[in-house]
Amino acid sequence: KPRKFKEKTCRHSVLMPAKRKSQGGGAESAAKTPRPNTKRLPADQLAQQPWIPQLTNWFETTVLPEGGPDMYLSKIYDTKEKQMEFAQWLNDFCPPDPGLNYATSFAGPTHLRPYMLSWRADSGCSGFIEPEIGVFIMELLASEGFLSDPNMPGCKKLSCTQIPTEFLSSEYTELPSFPGTQFIPCFSAGYVKGWKRAVMLLITAHGVKELDLGHHIVHHVKASWGTLHASFSDSMDVRAQVHANRGSSFIEDATATRPNCFALRRQVMILQKAGGGSAERQAAEWHSANSMARALQLGRSEAAAVNNLVHKVAPEAVTFLENSVKRRGMLKYMSHDVIGRDLLNEGYTSGVGILEPWKDELRNDGGQKLVMLFLRRLETDHDRTPPSLRRSVTEKQAIAKHQACACFLHFLNVFERACPPTEYPEAAESLTSQFMSGYLDPDLGHILETSVPPGDLAAVAAFRPFVAKIEKMTRSQDEEREMELERNARFADLEVVVAKLERDTQTLEQRLSAAGSEAERHAKDLLYLRQRQKKGEEFVNEWFKKSCCLVQVDDTYQGAIAGFLQFREQFRGRVGQEFGLIGFDATVWPSNANIVVNSMNTVAQLLGMSSSHMAWIQYPVLHAATNLNAMVKHRHLLEISMLKHSIACQFNVQILYAKPDARANDNRNLSQPALCGFHSNYQESPLRSSKAVAAGTAGPCPLIKVTDFIQYDESSKPGPAMRCEQKGIPCHLAMIDGLLSGVELADEDRVLFVDVLPNTYCEFGRACVQRAWDGSGKSILYIGFWSQEQFKKNQKALREIVYQGWDAMPGSPPQSRPLEENEAQSAPSLQIIAWQNGAPHWPDFLDTKFPEGSSEAEALSRKKQEFLQKFPAQPAPRTGTTVRPGRAGGHCDFSIDGGAKPLDITREIQPEQVGEADFTENRLGACDAKGRRPAIVITSSFEVWIGNPSGTEGMNVEAQELFGFGVGDYEEREVRDPTKEKFGLPFRLTSDLDHISYQKEPHALCQFLRWLATQRGMGELKLEDHVIDTRFHPAVSGQDPVPVTFRYKIAPKENFVTHVFKPKNDGTGRESGTNMFRAQALGTVFHQNYDKVISNKKAGVVWEVDFTSSPPSVVVSKPKVYLLCALHLPPKTWVNLSK
């Protein structure tokens, strides 16, 4: 089509280009409105008028954020007085033309004054101004004026009307006419066309007034503002006015701006209000996008947008978006496709294609929460974009943002359900702020594409800190809730426990009153144990007569053969053959040559007695304390002696050893040469059928660990000879079994092991006696030719094995005294108190039932103290074996001697501490900290200090062994005053409250003796170098004195002879050239000053002891210095134990 306007001489012509055909829409004849020409004024023209950019900048920064010029003016002039004041200013600033008549009614062509123009959005059919269009119109108004004279080319009158009620969207209050005139009321003229120009005129005038730019307005511009050419369309109905505004067939001139769906929506709503035509026509025009496209001559996207805004988008969303469009316009904010493609419609979902699993989560809900978030996000993204880069949001971009908003809302709802109500608002505000800034979009998009609902909240990076915080708070709340429940449960538990304790205490008190006093029962128990113990001793003696013969010999071996024959005499006339194994252990060569000669002579005599006798000769081995020449020499001497005594030497045997439990650095030999010897007078022997003789090997025989050696002590590690010689009971039993393997033995046959040259610890004797009681093989009768030293070291050990075997025999007397009639009660029925070994015990689990420091724990602790006052508890030594049933009842009675009790070694003290820098004492000796043992220093004044010199953390030190006195010898001599003994450490106890150490655990002597009685059945014991007697309560007239339960009088022997330990000051345990020692030998720095060894309540000498059951006695082992309290050592501090 040819353009309607071929020549335009006025700048206003840029607003009115010709129409062009639509490329789609509801009807083929529908015309698509052209894009407006928004070209700005030339830069040179603006440069000549710098106040115009100032004015337009004010419009963009002040007016548009308020919602456009109409809303801004309504806000500024919100009262009649302010509106009339503005009218007066307009009248003064733009004087009227005296030669013209101005409108007095709403009819016909006329002239209008600027204050007659209405700025309300509902005074016309448009109501919207694009920001770019508004700026351009303002520039034209300021530079060229309001050109409405129809006589000028390209200019058109304002097409006005009296505002129809159908136009109004809110209450309208009419103002009076300008004072002194009969003109139409102020600000009352509505518009068929020209609302944008009119409103921009008013906002431009207000801007000139606000910015004080009136002196820049030239005369002809003021004149064009003061007189406006207009025509009132008084003959048009509302429907015609709307169509005239749209540029339909009713009026040929089309509007010069791109259609705005909100303006079109307003027009549709006006037409709906106006009515007209049949109901069918109304429905056909306004109830589908196609009908709207035909009725308003719109394109497809505009018509769809208008239809959705009218019928399908929620009112609150329409209002929000309308206000947003007024501030930002449609051109660079949003395309009609975003609205026309249903993105804002209720029920719409963007979950399609690969996102179909999320379709419900990506759906617009009825509450419009998602739609409103989506619109706010569009606003935020637009405002954050620099103006020069702003573009209208396309449908594709909008769908992506819709998906992100929906996904964010989904996770926000998940988060709300997990978050405490008090924490949610702040967290939601922070998360929403991050989302509105676009930081969450990558994570949300990735989740939608790679997972299915409900998704993982922690997959969104922004949620993770809050999720972690919530989890922490939840755990804290759960813990608090559990603590509260636990407190309630503890209180209920405490009441139950206290009630049970009271009932049990009453039961025990009744039992005690019925059964007699504890002291009487204790006396009966001890009497029974002594009688039983005597029977045990008798059994041991009788057993040794029949099964074991120990002959004490000197280096001449006189009486050895006689002792053998005497023991053998008991078997005369018995059925069965006798087999004899003659032991000769030369692993460590005796230092006395006579012993070798005479013992070999004895072996020869024994071999000559019977062909069923075989010698078991163990050759010397090489070790660190000897050399190869000596070993060869000794073996040569041994073989010469055997040849001399007619002992056949052809049956050599290699003993193979195994070390199943040894450490990697154990370098003991794994083999040893030996010989099975027979007397040359006998060509045949039943023992020659032994597999060891035939194969030439015996074993493998298991060696015990070095730490399991007899009398092993860390302070005096076993020497080379001991490491070679001591092999253990299992090893010697394996040798005997190897020698007897292959020999046919009948049940009535007897096997004798004659130990002619036993090793230091007589291990063959121990093995034979052990075999008699463990029943693991053929019993061996043992005959040992022992020296005096061997008797002293080993006889008690063999008797102990036999006594313990008798003690556990079913035929032995009961281990505890049978109760009399008045005592014959079963264990009491107790609900919570434990009954162990015939006595009540405080249950250990009650000590940890309630948290430490809680009120329930304190209340229960008070109950425990009350219980222990009535039923005292006595600790038992840690033996490493299963605790047997109690042999005797009763506890140590500390009611005598003014209630004196043993020193509590678990008490914690707080001594004065000295810093590392201030500890400058001269040191005689020291040892470093190791494990739980602190560092120790002995000063030149013989004071003992302990410390934590290099620690970075505090050290809690408990009662323990501090240091020993190394190796030494014992001598027996008279000691009157042990505190003045300078040259050794005498074994002297002054009271049964003194501490001794059993298996590295310190105990009061009375408590140790009680444990021996109740657990080992030792009713009567001897204490080495001491006289020990039972203590008695004062006698009551007519009655025998009653013993004090497990309390004893301790006194030295009448002649004051005691064992004195004399340490060797030979440098053992000392680092060469230093004053640093091993803790086991640190006490040697007291050499010749042993009377100055520490002795107080913090630390002192504690003797390590052992005991034997047969004969029953406590024997001394070694003295050690023990810490007798507990304390805390901060880092870099020292404590003086001697003060």
pLDDT in tens, 729-738: 999 999 999 9
For the cut 80, the answer to whether the pLDDT of residue 16 exceeds it is: no
Share of the chain above pLDDT 70, in %: 88
3-state secondary structure of 924: strand
Measured from the Cβ of residue 766, the count of other Cβ atoms closer than 10 Å reads 21
Nearest to 937 by CA among 1094, 1136, 1093: 1136
3-state secondary structure of 789: helix
Average pLDDT along the chain:
83
State the sign of the Cα–Cα–Cα–Cα dihedral 881, 883, 888, 890.
Answer: positive
- The four Cα atoms 348, 350, 351, 354 give a dihedral, to 10 degrees, of 150
Residue 3 pLDDT class (50, 70, 90 cuts): very low
Q: Which residues of 63-78 are buried (b: 16+ CB within 10 A; e: fewer)?
A: bbebbbbbbbbbeebe
Cα–Cα dist 16/6, whole Å: 11
- pLDDT given for residue 1092 in this prediction: 92
For the cut 70, the answer to whether the pLDDT of residue 242 exceeds it is: no
For the cut 70, the answer to whether the pLDDT of residue 827 exceeds it is: no
Nearest to 815 by CA among 1114, 519, 536, 537: 536
Determine the average pLDDT of the residues in 239-249.
56
Residue recorded with tokens 């109905």: 237
Nearest to 1065 by CA among 1082, 1053, 1049: 1082
- pLDDT given for residue 322 in this prediction: 83
Determine the average pLDDT of the residues in 738-742.
92
Nearest to 334 by CA among 390, 269, 407: 390
**CA-derived radius of gyration, the chain:** 58
For the cut 70, the answer to whether the pLDDT of residue 22 exceeds it is: no
Determine the average pLDDT of the residues in 1046-1072.
87
Residue 1068 pLDDT class (50, 70, 90 cuts): confident
Residue recorded with tokens 């456009």: 68
- pLDDT given for residue 20 in this prediction: 36
DSSP 8-state assignment for residue 619: P
Contact 437, 429 (CB under 8 A): no
Strand 1022-1023, strand 1043-1052: pairing = unpaired
Helices (H), 974-1094: 1005-1016
Contact 718, 623 (CB under 8 A): no
The phi-psi region of residue 19 (left if phi > 0; otherwise alpha if psi is between -120 and 50; otherwise beta) is beta
Element (H, E) at 873: none
Bridge partners for 955 per DSSP = 1129
Nearest to 613 by CA among 653, 671, 564: 564
Supply the angle between the helices 424-436 and 464-515 in degrees, to the nearest 10.
160
Nearest to 197 by CA among 266, 141, 253: 141
DSSP 8-state assignment for residue 11: G
DSSP 8-state assignment for residue 1058: E
Residue 276 pLDDT class (50, 70, 90 cuts): low
Residue 286 pLDDT class (50, 70, 90 cuts): low
420/825: higher pLDDT: 420
Nearest to 86 by CA among 97, 105, 100, 72: 72
Measured from the Cβ of residue 838, the count of other Cβ atoms closer than 10 Å reads 18
Nearest to 137 by CA among 212, 55, 243: 55
- pLDDT given for residue 421 in this prediction: 85
Cα–Cα dist 617/665, whole Å: 29
- pLDDT given for residue 571 in this prediction: 86
Contact 740, 703 (CB under 8 A): no
At 459, list the tokens.
């997959």
853/224: higher pLDDT: 224
- The four Cα atoms 586, 587, 589, 593 give a dihedral, to 10 degrees, of 0
Contact 860, 849 (CB under 8 A): yes
Strand 995-998, strand 1099-1109: pairing = parallel
- pLDDT given for residue 324 in this prediction: 85
Is the peptide bond preceding residue 150 cis, with omega within 30 degrees of 0?
no
3-state secondary structure of 338: helix
For the cut 70, the answer to whether the pLDDT of residue 645 exceeds it is: yes
Helices (H), 837-923: 855-870
Determine the average pLDDT of the residues in 51-65.
90
- pLDDT given for residue 756 in this prediction: 94
For the cut 60, the answer to whether the pLDDT of residue 19 exceeds it is: no
Determine the average pLDDT of the residues in 35-53.
62
Phi, psi of 58 (to 5 degrees): -60, -40
Is the peptide bond preceding residue 700 cis, with omega within 30 degrees of 0?
yes
Cα–Cα dist 1010/890, whole Å: 9
For the cut 90, the answer to whether the pLDDT of residue 423 exceeds it is: no
Length of the chain: 1139
What Cα–Cα distance (Å) separates residue 658 from each residue in 668, 669, 700, 704, 1036? 10, 9, 6, 9, 66
- pLDDT given for residue 608 in this prediction: 92
pLDDT in tens, 749-808: 999 999 999 999 999 999 999 998 887 788 899 999 999 888 888 888 888 889 988 988
pLDDT in tens, 114-161: 999 998 888 887 777 888 888 888 988 888 888 888 777 778 888 888
pTM for this entry: 0.53
Residue 376's identity, in one-letter code, is R
Maximum CA pair distance of the chain?
Answer: 174
Q: How many CA atoms lie within 13 A of 5 on its CB side?
A: 19
Residue 496 pLDDT class (50, 70, 90 cuts): confident
For the cut 50, the answer to whether the pLDDT of residue 210 exceeds it is: yes
- Expressed in percent and rounded to 5, the helix, strand and coil fractions of the chain are 45, 20, 40
Tell me how many degrees the CA angle 871-877-881 measures, rounded to the nearest 5: 115
Cα–Cα dist 747/953, whole Å: 68
At 884, list the tokens.
């047997």
pLDDT in tens, 467-476: 888 888 778 8
Determine the average pLDDT of the residues in 999-1021.
87
What Cα–Cα distance (Å) separates residue 483 from each residue in 358, 486, 488, 855? 42, 5, 8, 14
Determine the average pLDDT of the residues in 658-669.
85
Strand 1112-1123, strand 960-964: pairing = antiparallel
- pLDDT given for residue 561 in this prediction: 92
pLDDT in tens, 874-912: 554 444 444 445 688 777 888 888 888 899 998 999 999
Cα–Cα dist 971/969, whole Å: 7
Determine the average pLDDT of the residues in 347-365.
88
Tell me how many degrees the CA angle 1078-1079-1081 measures, rounded to the nearest 5: 70
Nearest to 194 by CA among 125, 104, 94, 273: 125
